[in-house]
Amino acid sequence: MANIRDVANHAEVSVSSVSNVLNNRTDQMRPETLARIRQAMLELNYQPNRIAQQLKTGQTRMIGLLVPSIVNPSFAMLTREIDRAAKASQYRVLLGNTYRQADEERAFLEDMFAHGVKGVIVVATAMDRPHFVEAARQGLVMVNYDSLMSRDTLNGNPPFDSVSMDNVEAGRLATEHLIQRGCRQLVFVTESSLTISRSHKIEGFFVAAKEHGLQQSARVIEGTAKFAYGDAEMTELGRALAAKILQACPVPDGIVAINDALGIGLMAGLRDARIRIPEDISVIGIDNIPLADLVQPPMSSVIPPLTEMVNMMMKRLLMRIENPSLAPEAFLFAPKLISRQSVIEGEKQHIR
């Protein structure tokens, strides 16, 4: 492949001039010279070598994307958005599945340094662990998605931005919806490993219950998935938990699932047990994966404003790569309710 010197020779100019046109510094250039250089580039099918550019400038137009597992539809949708936003800024996405394993995460971060990647989006992973803190200290710019950590967990100022749906509000919204529709025996169903976003959702569940004097009966039921990152595992867990829920006394009439995958499994399990949804039990999920609309009945859910969130992440990443001294911030986005058919059309009158 032709390099900058070949082009320079071919056009009978210096490499500097070629470099100038590469970098759009053509204002002072004689149009004729410019034309000759352009021509030479075309004829030689010249493509500038980014590796060399990077070595010189220290900039790679790549961002890292660390996800627990791309097979999770929420993360797949997120990834598509990130890819879109990255392209809009002329960036490419370097993907890594880490299954929330510390050694996978560490390896990914190391590779980011090695490949000269300056900015990484870390999805749904607690970032108070040493490898993340250390990477930040070494200058890696990171944005966390959906694992907002408390300041004290990070003793003081977190060294990265954070973008998240307001998970307390999401839990509250889902629960409130059930209550408005007349449910009184509320259960929140979750996987037992506690991530930040999960505990926030649970918090929102209790906030809503309390608001309506239902804190006595409101319960959390949990189970352990083989792997906490997978979607198939989540759905399996949901299916398995249906039995546990039906043993509960009294049997609930409204269920909030920590995420859609679990909720869908739950619905399948309940249906197997001849429970009618929503007549006997109402179910609502959180996250709104595409699948939620395809099951029977279509499942109501709570949805994060994905595009806005991704745009913010990209914006912050680029800003802080440009200006590393910029203080990290936390951004919270309000979720919305998507009402479908898995929640009973009960008493719609305003309660209390």
Partner DNA sequence: TTGAAAGCGATACCAT
Partner DNA sequence: ATGGTATCGCTTTCAA
The total number of residues shown for the chain amounts to 352
Stretch 246-275 residues interacting with DNA (CB under 7 A):
none
Binding a second copy by CB under 8 A: which of 29, 77, 220, 275?
77
From the list 39, 42, 43, 57, which residue makes contact with DNA (rule: CB under 7 A)? 57
Nearer to DNA, 46 or 206 (CB): 46
- Quickly count: other Cβ atoms within 10 Å of residue 155's Cβ: 9
Task: Determine which residue in the list 48, 96, 182, 328 makes contact with DNA, applying CB under 7 A.
Answer: 48
Burial class (CB in 10 A: 0-12, 13-18, 19+), 81: middle
**Candidate residues 9, 38, 53, 332; the one interacting with DNA per rule CB under 7 A:** 53
Q: State which residue, 293 or 322, has the beta carbon closest to DNA.
A: 322
Structure tokens, 209: 């219950």
Burial class (CB in 10 A: 0-12, 13-18, 19+), 120: buried
Least separation, in Å, of the C-beta of 93 and DNA?
Answer: 22
Which ranges of 58-194 would DSSP assign to H, the alpha helix?
73-88, 102-114, 130-137, 167-180
**Given 3, 9, 15, 50, the residue binding a second copy (CB under 8 A):** 50
Q: Name the minimum Å distance from CB 60 to a second copy.
A: 7
Shorter beta-carbon distance to a second copy: residue 136 or 202: 136
Which is closer to a second copy, CB of 232 or CB of 330?
A: 232
Which of 13, 245, 314, 318 binds DNA (CB under 7 A)? It is 13
Does position 33 interact with DNA (CB under 7 A)? The reply is yes
Q: One-letter amino acid identity for 277?
A: I
Structure-token match 């529709």, residue found: 181
Give the angle 159-162-168 at the CA atoms, nearest 5°: 130
Label the pairing between strands 92-97 and 161-165: unpaired
Buried b (16+ CB within 10 A) or exposed e, 247-283: eeeeebbbbbbbbbbbbbbbbbbbbeeebebbeebbb
Supply the minimum distance, in Å, between the C-beta of residue 66 and DNA.
23
Choosing from 9, 10, 15, 221, the residue that interacts with DNA (CB under 7 A) is 15
Q: Which stretch binds a second copy (CB under 8 A): 85-93, 147-155, 183-191, 278-286?
A: 85-93
Determine the angle formed by the axes of helices 15-22 and 4-11, rounding to 10 degrees: 110
Which of DNA, a second copy, none binds 4 (CB below 5-8 Å, type-dependent)?
DNA
Among DNA, a second copy, none, the one that 265 touches (CB under a kind-dependent 5 to 8 A) is a second copy
Pull the structure tokens for residue 267: 């619905």
Q: Residue 80, interface with a second copy (CB under 8 A)?
A: yes
What are the Cα distances from residue 7, in Å, to 22, 29, 32, 48, 149? 11, 17, 15, 10, 52
- Spatial distance between the Cα atoms of 19 and 8, rounded to a whole number of angstroms: 9
> Any contact of residue 20 with DNA (CB under 7 A)?
yes
Find the binding residues for a second copy in span 105-124 (CB under 8 A): 107, 110-111, 113-116
133 binds a second copy (CB under 8 A): no
Binder among 35, 42, 88, 95 for a second copy (CB under 8 A): 95
Residue 84 site contact among a second copy, DNA, none (CB < 5 to 8 Å, cut-off depends on kind): a second copy
Q: What are the residues binding DNA (CB under 7 A)?
A: 1, 3-5, 12-17, 19-20, 22-23, 28-30, 32-34, 46-49, 52-53, 55-57
